Structure 1
């Protein structure tokens, strides 16, 4: 015989009751069934609210009427579905018990208090409605059944509203209970009786506990808990994407998970089934074909670590002082005080020096616990044997659980490494001697993020990147297109890159589930109402517990560049082709790197010099390896490489510049390229990376545009004025062609000085053939001489630059320890 328990979510309406009937009869035909039922969904909450309203002297009639309509509605639907349903008897039962309930509520309202014995009777009423509904369903189908009132059989001790069953006596009482194998037994959950025969309730998850008690008392072959999920997951699927359904758990693993807040079974439930080695299966009423999760002595081979649980809204007490050390009985006094207050302690830790002892309780018990401790230790506190009791609020306990953790090396290190990756500090740590679990106390606001990162490290091979793209012009739009195109390929490589935000200079589009880049995000951004700020993105990442947030600045804005430090201190990596931050004053340049290191965030800017070419990375590696830059020279602008290549072919300066602008090779304002300032900024970045302490004003620039040339007005005005220089450059280039030379705009570093200049070169010079958007850079160092380290490739165009940014974004993936 099996004991089946159905919770409130499985009993929400008449259709659910009939589904429960089908499951029960299927099991009964195969093995015999006893059923334990919770109240119909929502009824227990209504009963609790009715008591509160009556105590407060409020009008409870509307809520009482709502509950009556719910119960009558279920009865009427069942009557319509089953021709032989005894509707009259059920309606009489409802009316009688609601009348008794109203009498109790009237008394409570008069006294302004609800005594616990009365509360126990009221709170358990929903379960009695359920079993009578279900008995009438089975009777209508001709199925023999019997209702067991646990008041007659289950003896419990303790508080009226949170009692614990005496299994030995309860089992002995069931020895006199007889029934034939054709009978389906039906018992209300949540209910028992004390030694005086008074009705009591079994506390939180009391119906699960009732099922375990009945299974133990009837020596059932199995206990099945039917709920609204397919079984037990290794983390809360509402909080963690990719939470995995567990096939098996041992009783001990289930106990640890449930104790630390996982929605498995209450520890009280596991006790009876573990004591009598009764397998327990967690099943889904809405998906009965799913295999569920088996809790037994049989271990699973799925993983050494079974799950991650989370207890939120905790408070931690810390008692410390010279009076703690070597003082026999201090710990027992502390815990006796808490025990006398009927407060549950969730975690305990003590320093090896015996100087302090810390423990966690639920936040709702904090004030009461503090008052009792201060009263009990008033003498020690007044004489400074104890320091003032420290209370840390708004905490959470994150616990890693698994039988396979025992004697497994490196799991604790991996656990704490994951917390470090999530930028979560440990307030306290505890591990039991069983080595079956390890717990850490963290800030409540960071707990869900901690669980997500731990889950990724232990149960997922996905690397997560949570992106926010700022600037959706030429490069930004191209980058978004590349990310969209590569989604499937990234997933095949175990990379999940989601864009959660897209911003322009005026507003930002944010979506908690990520932005579908296949949709018209431009229109959605146009309709957005929020503006971009560090505080807004920080709030968003915290609210949605994002694991690895990255800000990608595709603008040329100095204002955005100045926020990088704030972004990194707020937990964001920063990736950018924007040169403004690295060419700000030297103090800001150094501060960026200090903050990146201190915050353990990455600041990546490869595309600021060579677009898609790995210039910065290679130079940094040389410097880290002990090399030293002696000389550098190169064509650093893909746009000017393109323009001067066209000049080689006889095209006019204005025409070549117009084509470069239209193709997205130049900056939005081509004056930034033609002024030489863009190359100067790149050269300054190279110089600083090589260890030179320089400012932008230290760089000598020979401009492409004569000093007297009018560069004012709009871009359109400038492009029209640029035609005036066509003849000047035509004449110069004609002369150079007669000498078999070409004109190149070159950046150089030599003897600690930087210069950007127009250079005339012949076909023997390595830069002679560099055109059509190519970049070419020659690094002369101690390691690379007499032949330089040469990097050459295309450096112009949105696609190349976006690809370089994309590569930097992928470098923000966190490392995972196997």
Structure 2
């Protein structure tokens, strides 16, 4: 079998869904399992519902209506008959959502998050499945929560591989077109769980692993994986081939290539992953597989904006030893600082972090009791894989370089934009 994953951008409106149908006509749909995300920005819209629910806001009903209105417009654009079965099916799902909001007693935010946000994928796949049948493309709709079983670590659930393997082997009919949801699973009590960051890609990898699939294809609005983000770098080029190891390296440094947890099950069975364009589906795209690290060989550029560079030194000029570093990392973990770069000397220690949750002010007051704390806000971290002096100089040009760190294959530069 082949596993195809279509993200929210590919099914954001009726034209997008029609295009997915057309892609399958061009590339084939027998022995295919489709993993589909929530439509467009539905997950964000459901997060608004969740916020209103916990805030006990008067706008809770309005936030649900926004999600309903968005999907109803897509339904009306896809189906000519207003009495088509899909309207009743989607209305039933929204009724289930509203019932949950009325009856839930759990104060656990992460639990409630998973129960509510999951409606995005369930509704999306229900619409796509009905539309394909409407167009004569018969398919099997699968509730992924009956197959992928997890622990109850809501919002970042761990997969029970043994049970999931058995369920998928029984539940997926080969020779058919199968349609299921990304991002979701369920715990041993049947409550919905979600798989965390890049969960839909991970879902595709789980199915591929359990089905011994021929390949996984992630369909995007770009021709494949580029060596740089074209928003920040000119003359980005398409990478034809990336090895599993190189893709994991790039993801570690912050590239939005493929999340490592997606690659790991594929690597174990050497199942190739393709990143292709749903706009031009017959183009070859990028292959992530066993083989050459990069083809063509080129520098790869990753940038993280809005970072925070923290430098610590001992108040009495004593060495910063292992016990100090251990304490610092415990605090960074406690205050949810994502560390991207570390540099230390005998009496100083610097980290470049992403203060995603706005905890630095509190962390700084704790650190200042034992260390002299200096910091630079809103810095940029550039990582260059397979760097050359030319590529490094091009990145640093016009910027104040605060930290430079070099290993055999990788250069990292923390910069502050210089005033014009």
Q: Same fold (TM over 0.5)?
A: yes
Give the direction of change, closer, same or farther, for the CA distance of 1:139–1:169 in structure 2 (3 Å limit): same
When residues 48 and 358 of structure 1 are mapped into structure 2, their CA distance, relative to the original with a 3 A threshold, is same
1:530-609 correspondence runs (5 A):
570=420
1:389 lines up with 2:383 in the alignment: no
How far apart are residue 141 of structure 1 and its match?
4.3
1:99 is matched with 95
Alignment partner for residue 352 of structure 2, among 357, 360, 367? 360
The 3-state SS of whatever aligns with 1:329 is: helix
Residue 16 to residue 54, structure 1, CA distance change in 2 (3 Å) = same
- 1:413-446 superposed Cα distances (whole Å, 9 cap, x missing partner): 43443345x13222223456xx443222222x46
Looking at structure 1, the residues matched to 102 and 58 of structure 2 have their Cα atoms a distance apart, in angstroms, of 11
1:204 matched to 2:197? The reply is yes
1:54 deviates by 3.4
Alignment check: 8 A CA contact 1:55 1:114 kept: no
Equivalent residues of 2:336, 2:355 under 8 A apart: no
Partner Cα distance (2:181, 2:145) in 1: 10
SS at match of 2:35: strand
Alignment size in residue pairs: 418
> Kindly tell me: are residues 180 and 413 of structure 1, through their superposed partners in 2, closer, same or farther at Cα, counting changes over 3 Å?
closer
CA distance in 1, matches of 2:211, 2:285: 23
Contact 2:299 2:388 in 1 (8 A): no
State which of 371, 375, 398 in structure 1 corresponds to 2:382. 398
Aligned match for 2:265, one of 272, 282, 296 = 272
Name structure 2 gaps, 5 residues minimum: none
Distance 1:171 1:36 in 2: 17
Q: Does 1:414 align with 2:398?
A: no
**1:428 aligned to which of 395, 403, 416:** 403
Provide the C-alpha distance between the structure 1 equivalents of 2:317 and 2:194, rounded to a whole number of angstroms: 42
Match for 1:174 among 135, 144, 168? 168
Alpha carbons of structure 1 residues 64 and 173: separation in structure 2 relative to 1, 3 Å: closer
- C-alpha distance after superposition, 1:159-199 (max 9, x if no partner): 41233435455335434445242x11211011122354431
Match of 1:219 in 2: 212
Q: Structure 2 matches for 1:354-753, cutoff 5 A?
A: 355-367=347-359, 371-372=362-363, 375=366, 382=369, 386-401=370-385, 405=386, 411=387, 413-420=389-396, 422-431=397-406, 435-443=408-416, 445=417, 570=420
- The 3 A distance-change label for structure 1 pair 399 and 309 is same
Relative to 1, partners in 2 of residues 1:318 and 1:198: Cα closer, same or farther, differing over 3 Å?
Answer: farther
Contact kept? 1:260, 1:397, Cα under 8 Å: no
* Contact 1:24–1:35 (8 Å) recurs in 2: no
CA distance in 2, matches of 1:106, 1:262: 41
Give the match's secondary structure for 2:400: coil
**How far is the alpha carbon of 1:114 from its aligned partner?**
7.0
Report if the CA contact (8 A) 2:183-2:202 is conserved: yes
How far did 1:398 drift? Answer: 0.8
Give me the whole-angstrom Cα distance separating, in 2, the residues matched to 1:392 and 1:237: 26
Shift of 1:132: 1.0
Deviation by residue 1:555-598 (Cα, 9 ceiling, x = unmatched): xxxxxxxxxxxxxxx4xxxxxxxxxxxxxxxxxxxxxxxxxxxx
Structure 1 regions of 5+ residues with no counterpart? 406-410, 447-537, 539-569, 571-818
Change in 2 beyond 3 A, CA 1:340/1:8: same
Name which of 98, 103, 110 aligns with 1:116: 110
Q: 2:184 aligns with which of 191, 197, 210?
A: 191
| Aligned residue in 1 for 2:228 | 235
Maintained 8 Å contact 1:260/1:311: no
Which residue in 2 is equivalent to 1:61? 61
Who is 1:145 aligned against?
139
Counterparts in 2 of 1:286-301, with a 5 A limit?
Answer: 286-299=279-292
- The structure-2 alpha-carbon separation of the partners of 1:333 and 1:53, relative to structure 1 and needing over 3 Å to count, comes to same
User: Residue 327 of structure 1: CA displacement?
Assistant: 3.3
CA distance in 1, matches of 2:265, 2:44: 27
CA 1:172–1:371 in structure 2 vs 1: closer, same or farther (change >3 Å)?
A: farther
Residues 118 and 326 of structure 1: is their aligned pair in 2 closer, same or farther, counting only changes over 3 Å?
Answer: closer
Specify the SS of the correspondent of 1:365: coil
Instruction: Tell me how far apart the structure 2 counterparts of residues 254 and 247 of structure 1 sit (CA, whole Å).
Output: 12
Larger CA Rg, structure 1 vs 2: 1
Root-mean-square deviation over aligned CA pairs:
3.0
